[in-house]
Amino acid sequence: MDFEDLVNTPRKIRILSISVAFLIAFPVYFQIMPSLIDDDLMSGGSSGPSGKWTVSFSETPIIMEEHQVLGDGDTHDTYFDVTTELDIGYIELDVDCNDNDDPGPGFTDSADGSSDVSGAEGEFEDQEASGPCSGGDSGFTMRWDVTHNYTGQNITVENMSEGELRSLWNDGGFGEGTWAATITADINALPGPVGSIVDSDEEYDITWTAMTYELVLEPVVEVET
Ligand SMILES: [Ca+2]
Ligand SMILES: [Ca+2]
C-alpha cells in the first residue's frame, strides 16, 4: 500500500487527516496532563485538587411585596412565583404589622399564617406561625433553606476540592415554582361597639424573598516565609 492508496477517496483523506491530528495531539496531551494531576486527584476522585479556599456568595434577592388591610378573621392568600437561573439559598416569608390603633397598652392585633409549599419543586415542609403586631420586626417569619444550611456568610475551608465545595453549595435544582401562604388577621379591641370603632382592622406588610446566589470560590495561596 503506497501513499496513493491512502488518499484516493475523500473519506480516506478525512481519516488520514484525523489520524495525523491525533498523532500530534496525543504526545502533547500526555506531556501536559501529569502537571495538571496532583496526588489528591489521583487518590481522591475527579473533582480537582484539594486545598484551602475562601467561599463567598454573590447574592441577588428576588423580592415581592404586598400590603393588605384585613378585618378580624379575614384571610388573604399570597403567592410567590420563583424562576431563576441561579441557585436558591432560601425562601423567606415575612409578615410585619404594627397595631397602633388602640389607645394605651393591650388589645394588640396579631397575624397568623400557614404555608402551602405544594407548588414548589422539592420536598419542603409546610409551616404555621403567628405573632403580635407590636411594630418593628413583629408579626411572623417563615423560612425554608433550599441550599442545605445556607447562611450566605463567607468562610474559609481547607482540604477540599472545587468539586466537593460545589456539591455542598447548590440548590439541587429545587426551590422554583409557586410558594403560597394564607394570612389570617386577629384584631383585638376594647369590647363593645366603641372598641370596633377604635380598631377594626390592621395593615399587613407581606414580603417574600428568594435569596439567589452564585458561589464564588477563590483558592488561598499561602506564601511560605
Ligand atoms: Ca388592636
Ligand atoms: Ca389594628
Distance CA 92, CA 143 (A): 4
Identify residue 181 by its one-letter amino acid code.
Answer: A
**17 and 104 co-located in one domain:** no
Which residues lie across from 82 on neighbouring strands?
Answer: 177
Please report which ligand is nearest the Cα atom of 99.
2
Look at 14 and 94; give whichever has higher pLDDT.
94
Q: What is the pLDDT of residue 20?
A: 59
Evaluate whether residue 148 is within a structural domain.
Answer: yes
**pTM for the structure as a whole:** 0.76
C-alpha cell at 28: 502533547
Please report which ligand is nearest the Cα atom of 107.
1
Please report which ligand is nearest the Cα atom of 190.
1
Distance CA 184, CA 112 (A): 5
Evaluate whether residue 88 is within a structural domain.
Answer: yes
Q: What is the dihedral of CA 19, 24, 28, 30, to 10 degrees?
A: 40
Q: What is the pLDDT of residue 193?
A: 84
Q: What is the pLDDT of residue 40?
A: 43
46-50, 53-57, 76-80, 196-200: least confidently modelled range: 46-50
**22 and 82 co-located in one domain:** no
**29 and 82 co-located in one domain:** no
- pLDDT of 108 > 60? The answer is yes
**30 and 104 co-located in one domain:** no
Ligand 1 centroid vs 175 CA: distance in angstroms?
Answer: 36
Full domain range(s) for residue 123:
50-219
**28 and 56 co-located in one domain:** no
Ligand 1 centroid vs 200 CA: distance in angstroms?
Answer: 8
**pLDDT digit string, tens, across residues 171-204:** 999 999 999 999 999 999 998 888 889 999 999 9
**pLDDT digit string, tens, across residues 116-171:** 999 999 999 999 999 999 988 899 999 999 999 999 999 999 999 999 999 999 99
The residues whose Cβ lies within 5 A of ligand 2, an ion, are 99, 101, 109, 199, 202
Residues with Cβ within 8 Å of 81's Cβ and at least 6 positions away in sequence, in order, are 177, 178
Ligand 1 centroid vs 104 CA: distance in angstroms?
Answer: 10
Evaluate whether residue 42 is within a structural domain.
Answer: no
Domain total for the chain?
A: 2
**38-63: b or e for each residue (b if 16 or more CB lie within 10 Å)?**
eebbeeeeebbebbebebbbeeeebe
Ligand 2 centroid vs 108 CA: distance in angstroms?
Answer: 7
User: What's the whole-number average pLDDT of the chain?
Assistant: 88
Ligand 1 centroid vs 64 CA: distance in angstroms?
Answer: 27
**126 and 183 co-located in one domain:** yes
Ligand 2 centroid vs 118 CA: distance in angstroms?
Answer: 32
Evaluate whether residue 120 is within a structural domain.
Answer: yes
Look at 25 and 206; give whichever has higher pLDDT.
206
**17 and 70 co-located in one domain:** no
Q: Contact, 145 vs 48, CB < 8 A?
A: no
**73 and 162 co-located in one domain:** yes
When computed from its CA atoms, the radius of gyration of the chain, rounded to whole angstroms, is: 30
Ligand 1 centroid vs 195 CA: distance in angstroms?
Answer: 9
Evaluate whether residue 193 is within a structural domain.
Answer: yes
**151 and 192 co-located in one domain:** yes
- pLDDT of 36 > 80? The answer is no
Evaluate whether residue 167 is within a structural domain.
Answer: yes
Q: What are the angstrom distances between the C-alpha of 136 and each of 18, 56, 103, 181?
A: 70, 30, 18, 21
Q: What is the pLDDT of residue 30?
A: 53
Evaluate whether residue 24 is within a structural domain.
Answer: yes
**77 and 8 co-located in one domain:** no
**11 and 102 co-located in one domain:** no
Ligand 2 centroid vs 109 CA: distance in angstroms?
Answer: 6
Evaluate whether residue 43 is within a structural domain.
Answer: no
Distance CA 69, CA 204 (A): 6
User: What is the CATH number for 99?
Assistant: 2.60.120.380
Backbone phi and psi for residue 3, each to the nearest 5 degrees, phi listed first: -60, -35
**21 and 86 co-located in one domain:** no
Q: Contact, 90 vs 147, CB < 8 A?
A: yes
Among candidate residues 93, 97, 60, 96, the one with its CA nearest the CA of residue 79: 93
Average pLDDT of the segment spanning 46-68: 92
